[in-house]
Amino acid sequence: MIGLDALGLAAAVLPAAVAIHHACDRQSATRWRNAGFWGVFAILIGPGAWLPDVVAGLLVMVLVGLATLGLKPSAVVAGPGEAPPRFRPRVGNRLLVPALALPAVTFAGTLLFPDGRIAGAGVIDPKQVSLVALAVGAVVALALALWLTRPPPIAPVAEGRRLADAIGWAIVLPQMLAALGGVFAIAGVGRVVADGVTGIVALDTPLAATIAYCVGMALFTMVMGNAFAAFPIMTAGIGLPIVIRHFGGDPAAVAALGMLSGFCGTLMTPMAANFNIVPAAILELRDRFGVIRVQWPTALVLLAFNIAVLALCAFPERIG
């Protein structure tokens, strides 16, 4: 049955290809350092699920060590000694087809196989249908892009490396911070956060609890840099015991809009480097925080909107 383990192996293809491309680049002075970083990352998200915990922990330390030394990638070409690829066909607006194929395939797969059964057989883990459909959609989108542009065979790997090098070690942040959030949840940080909030603010009404949960999600995301890391902490501390259990809030609305509130925090923090700092570097903006300065007003408006919608949807008859 196709589940998270298989999806991890599929996701490891990109960093593995980047590692091999770096290893073959004899013009780079740091090729083995770069190859080692992306190779270790590929092992962790691919076969890492079957590694002993100690081995996985040591690999994470190796990953951090290589990133600390500095990756310093060289300019990317299609292959060692080759010129950058020039795509001959003029595809125009047809280039949108691969981009639209990804959400279309994901949406169709989720609706057509909600229980993971294909032709009566249980092929996909029912809990991972959407993720499997997303992976299939990515493969379909890649195939369409190759068919439309007719690039050299090595071009997808070269361009994948170019993008990975542009983002650098920050590409690992979402996984690392999500894992940190899980560790915090197990360690009981959520309970400590809840005690601290209730000691400052009286959560004696559903509206007060809703505001505390959503604002807390945004603030904790700003500290952690990732809403996935903040979610288990704030939900275990305030969302589940207070908003859902104590005041009877709808779990689906609380979880969905709580996560969206966390994403508002993502728009306002330099800790979300892969979203806010890396784009400024790639675009060579003079203000490294320029992206955040543009986004924060919208983030505050969206946060207020999320609070209002959650209050109305979770317990419309109890607000006030």
Kindly report, residue by residue over 35-92, the tens digit of the pLDDT: 999 999 999 999 988 889 899 889 989 998 988 888 777 666 554 444 445 555 566 7
How many other β-carbons are positioned within 10 Å of the β-carbon of residue 134?
Answer: 18
Q: How confident is the model at residue 318 (pLDDT cuts 50, 70, 90)?
A: low
Centroid of chain to Cα 71: 22
More confident residue, 211 or 178: 211
Q: What are phi and psi of 223, to 5 degrees?
A: -75, -45
Q: Max alpha carbon distance in the chain (Å)?
A: 69
The burial class, CB within 10 Å (0-12 / 13-18 / 19+), for 67 is middle
pLDDT in the model for residue 135: 92
Domain boundaries in the chain? Answer: 1-82+154-169, 89-151, 188-314
In terms of average pLDDT, the best of 217-231, 245-259, 271-285 is 245-259
- Name the residue type at position 112: L
Could you tell me the pLDDT band of residue 273, with boundaries at 50, 70 and 90? confident
